[in-house]
Each structure stands twice: as C-alpha cells, then as structure tokens.
C-alpha cells in the first residue's frame, strides 16, 4: 500500500472542529506514529449536540418510515461502493489486516440494510379486552434522543448496529466514538449525510475526555436512552449515571467465551474454527474464544494442531499483503496480554508457540498457544483481548459445563461435538446469550447479539434490535 494512498484516505476524513478549537491525536498502532488530529469535544459541545438531537426529535419521529429506510439503504450502498477506502482507513487507525477491515465494512453495512428493511415493519397491536368490554391498542414509538457509545475494536460495525436501529425507529442521537479510533465513525457520519440524513439527527462528539462529555448528557432529562459497547466496569459506572433520569439502557459488555471440544468432535473443523474464533481481530473481540476446554483424550492433538496453525500466521502491518495478524491497539493493551501469558507460564502452563512481543515498533504480539493451563491461571478468568489461546482439559460433560459456566460473564460459547443430544443438552445448560455450534463465528446482523450475567443485556441486530429504540404505549379504548 503506498504512503500517498494512505495519506489521501486520512486526508478525506472530516475531522470536526469545535468551538474551543482543541484537538487530540489519532495514532497508527502498527507504527506508533500520529495519523492526524481530530476535534476534541468538550462538555459544551456535548450539550450543543443534545440540543440539536432534542430539537430534531419530533420532526424525525414523524418522518415516513420508508424515507428513514431509504436513507439507510443508500448509506449501505455507499459503504459498499467505498469499501476499499473505508477498510484502509480502519486498518490505519485500528491495526487489523485490510482483508479483515473489508469484512468489517461489509458486516457494518449489512446492519444498515437490515434496519432499512425493519424501518417499515414497526407494528403495534389491536385486540379485544378479555372481558369483551372495550379494546386494547398498543403502539411502538421512538424512545427519544439516544447516546451511543462505541468501542475501538470494531469502529464501524459497533456504530452501525446502534445507529441503524435508532434511525429506523425514528430516534435522534449523539454518538461518542472511541478516542483511539474516531476516524471510521467520522467517515460513516459523512456517508449518512450524503445518503440524506437530515442535520441534527446524528451528532458525533469525538473526545479525549469521555467523562466530561457524557456526564452532562446523563444529567440532562432530555436524553432518553444509552447504548454502550465496552468493558463491564465502565458499563457498570454508566448504569449508575443512567439511573439519574432512569434511561433505557442497552449494555454489550465483556466476555470470557469458552470453546468446548468434546471427544467426538470433528477435530479438523474444531481447529479451523478455533483459529476463526480466536484470531479474528487479533483476539480483540468480546466474542473471541477466550479459553479452550478440550476433552482430555484429544487435548494434546488439538493444542499441537492449533499451535501449528497459529505459528504459521504472518504478523505485520495490516496494510501489507499476506498479513494475518496486525498489532494490538496500544502499548497498554500489549502489556496486559503479556502479563496474562507470563502469569499462566509462571503457574505451569507450557508455551507451544508465541509468548513474546514481535518487532521493535508498533504493538505486535505473537500468536500464542499455551497448553496444560492450570485452573488458577488469571487468563482463564479474564478477558484476554489478544492473540492468545490457553488450552485446558476436562474429563466429562458435567465438568465441561460446570467449568464453562464458572464465570461472571455470559456472552457466547462455542461447542464442538457430532452428537446431537449432547449438543442440545450442553446448549441448554450453558449460561450465555449466544452459542456457536460447530462454528467459531456467531456475529450476524440478522441475529440478536447480546449476553447474560455481567456481559450485559439488550440485543443488537435481528428483529429484536429495533425494540431497544422503541417504547410501548398502550391505549385503553372504550367503544
């Protein structure tokens, strides 16, 4: 990829100017160099964004559903037309290989197509009172101005799966993108404007001072909803703030996904899908397989084959041809990953491949497989968010389920078995919001994404996704 092309893509981003005129730097994690400066929103800018969202709420809610749907459909088309540039920009600010960024642009655009189709299907209900006396009318209306807080790991898709249903439902919104990756969101906002989204409906507030910007919004009764994707500790703090005015809340939080391989599993498929479930996004995903629990009769073979595949992956700058694994997002994130590996090794885990930093600039860490991981290793309990696969063993189905459920998180699990009865009983017993059965990827705009326990609540995508942005009103009708 030529440096000129990279520069041209970055230069096209509308980088925002706020009244105070201050900016913050956005960095390329593969080099540590600054890509550009972005306007740094303050508390006043956040309130101005809420003013706009509030002012336009009634008019936007009254816009024909077909019009809202067609704006989303047009944005879906523009995203696909510009996928190459959007993918390059995403790789530059976030690090993932360009092929993965392209996959994210496609995934992100699909949320717009899906919710374009949902916009025209917001129905209510008309029924007869069971007593026969009068009628019950139920309608679903936009919840009102929303605050959407998106993470750095999927800078575009985590935006479209909140923005898509908000637009479809008729809500206005303020979007706070992650400080580390605001550029993809700024390009997305530009595409929506070009697709016909009226001013004031979507208001982006990039900032280096998240608390300063979100604090006044939570304190303002005009805000009616918050949707957050990020860590569980931050989610808990936001819930406290959201309680001031009892906001509607959607929380997509941390995970600790178990990947269970039973003795009867197709081992070829399990290894292939383990690579997908672990290495998508360099493991920086809340649905990344975090811990591999493998039946003791096949654990050595599974770990050896996984290590061979992971060792063959090419680590490098995501813009280079043939690269499979980009850098981690920051030096801090790499320190966390390295610390978790060192802890496991100090407690007896064996490094089959990796276990070290790569290169002398950027934040690269080698794809790592650890065998014989003891139960007290920290990385079995903590979300790793890096390219590290710890393999532990189980002796029977009860132990597999008990170990998998022994976590405060409950986002997703992966189960590999050829026995249908076992598959269904394990699926019923696992405490998760999503499950991949003989597959390492569950994400799909047409399906409800979300967790249980401390992984949060609310669903994004699927027919459920739009409900998060609608309030039910019931009218008792006396005829």
Mask for 264-293, x = binds ligand SIN (CB under 6 A) = ---------------------xxx------
Q: Name which of 374, 423, 424 is nearest 403 in CA terms.
A: 374
Q: How far is CA 63 from CA 59, 333, 429, in A?
A: 6, 44, 45
Strand order, beta sheet including 125-128: 125-128, 135-142, 470-477
- Burial annotation 441-453 (CB, 10 A radius, 16+ → b, else e): ebbebebbbbbeb
- Which of these is catalytic: 110, 118, 252, 284? 252
Catalytic residue among 16, 36, 171, 286: 286
- Nearest alpha carbon to residue 369 among 318, 317, 300: 300
**CA 225 to mean position of chain CA atoms:** 18
| Cα separation of the two ends of the chain | 70
- CA 243 – CA 426 distance, rounded (Å): 36
Q: What is the spatial distance between Cα 182 and Cα 284, in angstroms, rounded to a whole number?
A: 17
One of 160, 207, 227, 229 touching ligand SIN (CB under 6 A): 229
* Eight-class DSSP state of 131: T
Nearer to ligand SIN, 160 or 172 (CB): 160
Known catalytic residue at 36? no
250 touches ligand SIN by CB under 6 A: no
- Residue 263 C-beta: closest distance to ligand SIN, Å: 29
State whether the Cα torsion 146-152-157-158 is positive or negative: negative
**Near ligand SIN by CB under 6 A: residue from 153, 203, 273, 382:** 153
The only residue of 154, 364, 414, 416 in contact with ligand SIN, by rule CB under 6 A: 154
Please select the residue that binds ligand SIN; options are 320, 443, 462, 464, rule is CB under 6 A: 443
Nearer to ligand SIN, 204 or 287 (CB): 287
Look up 252 and say whether it is catalytic: yes
Structure tokens at 254: 């941390």
Nearer to ligand SIN, 114 or 154 (CB): 154
CB of 286 to ligand SIN, least distance (A): 4
Among candidate residues 158, 115, 391, the one with its CA nearest the CA of residue 258: 391
Span near ligand SIN by CB under 6 A; candidates 87-95, 151-159, 194-202, 217-225: 151-159
Quick one: which segment of 85-93, 150-158, 370-378, 387-395 binds ligand SIN (CB under 6 A)?
Answer: 150-158
Instruction: Report residue 414 as tokens.
Output: 């992966």
**Residues contacting ligand SIN: total by CB under 6 A:** 10
**Which residues contact ligand SIN (rule: CB under 6 A)?**
153-154, 157-158, 229, 285-287, 443, 449
Residues with catalytic roles: 252, 286
């Amino acid at each position: 990829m030529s440096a000129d092309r990279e520069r041209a893509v970055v230069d096209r981003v509308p980088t925002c100017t706020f009244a105070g005129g201050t900016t913050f730097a956005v960095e390329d994690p593969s080099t540590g160099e600054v890509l550009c400066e972005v306007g740094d929103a303050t508390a006043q800018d956040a309130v101005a964004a809420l003013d706009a969202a509030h002012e336009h709420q009634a008019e936007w809610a009254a816009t024909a559903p077909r019009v809202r749907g067609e704006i989303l459909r047009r944005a879906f088309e523009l995203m696909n037309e510009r996928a190459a540039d959007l993918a390059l920009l995403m790789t530059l600010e976030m690090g993932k290989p360009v092929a993965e960024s392209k996959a994210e642009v496609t995934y992100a655009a699909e949320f717009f197509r899906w919710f374009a189709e949902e916009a025209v299907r917001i129905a209510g209900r008309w029924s007869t009172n069971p007593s026969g006396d009068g009628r019950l009318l139920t309608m679903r209306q936009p919840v009102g101005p929303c605050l959407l807080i998106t993470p750095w790991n999927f800078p575009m898709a985590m935006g479209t799966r909140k923005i898509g249903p908000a637009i479809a439902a008729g809500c206005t919104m303020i979007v706070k993108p992650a400080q580390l990756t605001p550029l993809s969101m700024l390009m997305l906002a530009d595409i929506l404007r070009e697709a016909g989204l009226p001013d004031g409906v979507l208001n982006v507030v990039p900032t280096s001072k998240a608390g300063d910007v979100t604090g006044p919004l939570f304190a303002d009764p005009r805000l009616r909803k918050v949707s957050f994707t990020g860590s569980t500790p931050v989610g808990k703090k936001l819930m406290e703030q959201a309680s001031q005015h009892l906001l509607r809340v959607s929380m997509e939080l941390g995970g600790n996904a178990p990947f269970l391989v039973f003795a009867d599993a197709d081992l070829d498929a399990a290894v292939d899908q383990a690579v997908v479930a672990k290495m998508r996004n360099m493991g920086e995903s809340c649905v990344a397989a975090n811990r591999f629990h493998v039946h003791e009769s096949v654990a050595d073979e599974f770990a050896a084959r996984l290590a061979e595949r992971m060792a063959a992956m090419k680590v490098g700058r995501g813009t280079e041809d043939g690269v499979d694994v980009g850098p981690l997002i920051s030096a801090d994130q790499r320190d966390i990953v390295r610390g978790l590996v060192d802890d496991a090794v100090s407690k007896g885990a064996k490094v089959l491949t990796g276990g070290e930093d790569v290169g002398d600039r950027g934040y690269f860490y080698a794809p790592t497989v650890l065998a014989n991981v003891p139960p007290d290793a920290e990385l079995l309990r903590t979300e790793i968010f890096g390219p590290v696969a710890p393999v532990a063993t189980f002796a029977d189905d009860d132990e597999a389920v008990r170990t998998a459920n022994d976590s405060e998180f409950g986002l997703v699990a992966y189960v590999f078995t050829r026995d249908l009865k076992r598959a269904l009983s394990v699926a019923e017993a696992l405490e998760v919001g999503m499950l991949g059965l003989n597959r390492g990827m569950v994400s799909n705009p047409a399906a409800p994404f979300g967790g249980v326990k401390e992984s949060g609540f609310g669903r994004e995508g699927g027919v459920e996704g739009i409900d998060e942005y609608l309030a039910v009103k019931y009218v008792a009708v006396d005829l």
